[in-house]
């Protein structure tokens, strides 16, 4: 049922996958001319529900990387999504019949605008942007992905958390009938993640609803997932059904499963090794098994935007 009716906002520019290979030229031109081309009444974020359908009204973002994105096939066939299996290709093979619409998201805890929202109403008040982000997995590989999403900071501002809300907690759908991995005890289900309020309201964090200008595929977390590009990939919780504003640090799935390996913060830090492998270097997916690795960057290269969030915190102990 409809709980909230958002106000209209202005639209953004339109980008399709067909012109994606010329994206960097488009971004540079759009950043100059975009303000002059936007006109007319705003519709808010609208995401189709058909697989591989293009999303309209996608704006460009000042936060996008200049790195060349991975091929589409790399991004949709090599995934960590234990709800559909522990193998990297299991999500692609097992998630095709997953029903990601209709969908609802419950907002609860220390906020003024709590309740249960239809997916369409949850995202409607916000602008859609394409953000090209470098993403780092804990197993020493990385991708560059053009996400389509909405600002998490804008969502939080809209929901009006109280002064008691120090963290934001998230939960994934728990539905073993659709998610075969949840029939096993690989993790304690449902999948849970969390951020501090300061992290969640950093301009880099988004709720992604698409990739390459298209609807988000099931294996990538449809219909809505978290993207926090300065952290390891397991922080990017998928298929979100609950968002909670809480006073105490929430439990998170991988920290619960292996606290000596996966910390709450999960910031990309080349100086802190995983107990079973080094995090100092990484290989880009799609570059080939024998391609040279490159040095891992602190905060995944986003230190200028996020390092201040951790002033005074020992990032070796708080990994």
Q: How confident is the model at residue 291 (pLDDT cuts 50, 70, 90)?
A: confident
Residue 279's closest CA among 232, 227, 235?
Answer: 232
- Distance CA(319)–CA(309), nearest Å, equals 14
Flag whether pLDDT at 208 surpasses 90: yes
- How many domains does one find in the chain? 1
pTM, 2 dp: 0.86
Domain annotation covers residue 179: yes
Q: Is residue 250 part of a domain?
A: yes
Condensed to tens digits (0 to 9), the pLDDT of residues 149-201 reads 999 999 999 999 999 999 999 999 999 999 999 999 999 999 999 999 999 99
| 238 is a domain residue | yes
- Average pLDDT, stretch 235-242? 98
CATH number at residue 141: 3.90.420.10
Interval 50-56 mean pLDDT: 95
Stretch 42-57: mean pLDDT: 90
- Answer whether residue 258 is part of any domain: yes
- Of 239, 206, 306, the C-alpha closest to 266 is 306
Q: How many CB atoms lie within 10 A of CB 176?
A: 12
Tell whether 160 is covered by a domain.
Answer: yes
Using the predicted structure, report yes or no on whether residue 10 has a pLDDT greater than 70: no
Asked if residues 221 and 238 have their Cβ atoms less than 8 Å apart, the reply is yes
Proportion of the chain above pLDDT 70, given as a percent: 87
The answer to whether residues 211 and 191 touch, using CB atoms and an 8 Å cutoff, is no
Mean pLDDT of all residues belonging to the chain: 88
Using pLDDT thresholds of 50, 70 and 90, give the confidence band for residue 5: very low
Is 226 among the domain residues?
A: yes
Of 242, 232, 228, 226, the closest CA to residue 263 belongs to 232
Residue 44: which pLDDT band, with cuts at 50, 70 and 90? confident
Tell me the C-alpha distance between 319 and 315, whole Å. 5
What share of the chain has pLDDT > 90, as a percent? 83
Pairing verdict, β 281-284 and 141-151:
parallel
Range of the domain at 228: 17-310
Residue with more model confidence, 271 or 3: 271
In a domain, 9, yes or no: no
Q: Is 40's pLDDT higher than 60?
A: no
37 within some domain: yes
Per-residue pLDDT at 43: 67
């Amino acid at each position: 049922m409809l709980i909230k009716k958002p106000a209209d906002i202005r639209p953004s520019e339109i980008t399709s996958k067909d012109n994606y290979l010329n994206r960097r030229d488009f971004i540079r031109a759009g950043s100059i001319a975009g303000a002059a081309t936007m006109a007319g009444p705003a519709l808010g974020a609208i995401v189709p529900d058909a697989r591989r359908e293009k999303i309209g009204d996608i704006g460009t973002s000042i936060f996008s990387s200049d790195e060349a994105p991975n091929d589409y096939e790399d991004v949709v066939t090599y995934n960590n999504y234990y709800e559909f299996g522990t193998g990297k290709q299991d999500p692609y093979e097992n998630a095709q019949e997953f029903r990601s619409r209709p969908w609802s998201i419950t907002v609860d805890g220390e906020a003024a605008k709590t309740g249960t929202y239809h997916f369409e109403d949850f995202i409607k008040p916000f602008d859609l942007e394409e953000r090209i982000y470098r993403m780092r997995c804990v197993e020493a590989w990385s991708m560059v992905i053009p996400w389509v999403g909405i600002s998490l900071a804008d969502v939080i501002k809209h929901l009006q958390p109280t002064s008691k809300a120090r963290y934001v907690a998230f939960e994934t759908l728990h539905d073993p009938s659709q998610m075969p991995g949840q029939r096993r005890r690989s993790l304690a289900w449902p999948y849970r993640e969390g951020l501090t309020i300061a992290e969640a309201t950093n301009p880099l964090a988004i709720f992604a609803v698409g990739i390459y200008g298209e609807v988000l595929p099931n294996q990538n977390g449809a219909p809505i997932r978290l993207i926090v590009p300065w952290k390891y990939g397991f922080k990017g919780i998928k298929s979100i059904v609950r968002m909670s504003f809480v006073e105490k640090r929430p439990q998170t799935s991988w920290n619960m499963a292996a606290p000596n390996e996966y910390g709450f913060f999960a910031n990309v830090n080349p100086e802190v090794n995983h107990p079973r492998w080094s995090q100092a270097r990484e290989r880009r997916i799609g570059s080939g098994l024998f391609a040279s690795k490159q040095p891992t960057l602190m905060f995944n290269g986003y230190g200028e935007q996020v390092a201040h969030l951790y002033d005074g915190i020992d990032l070796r102990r708080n990994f």
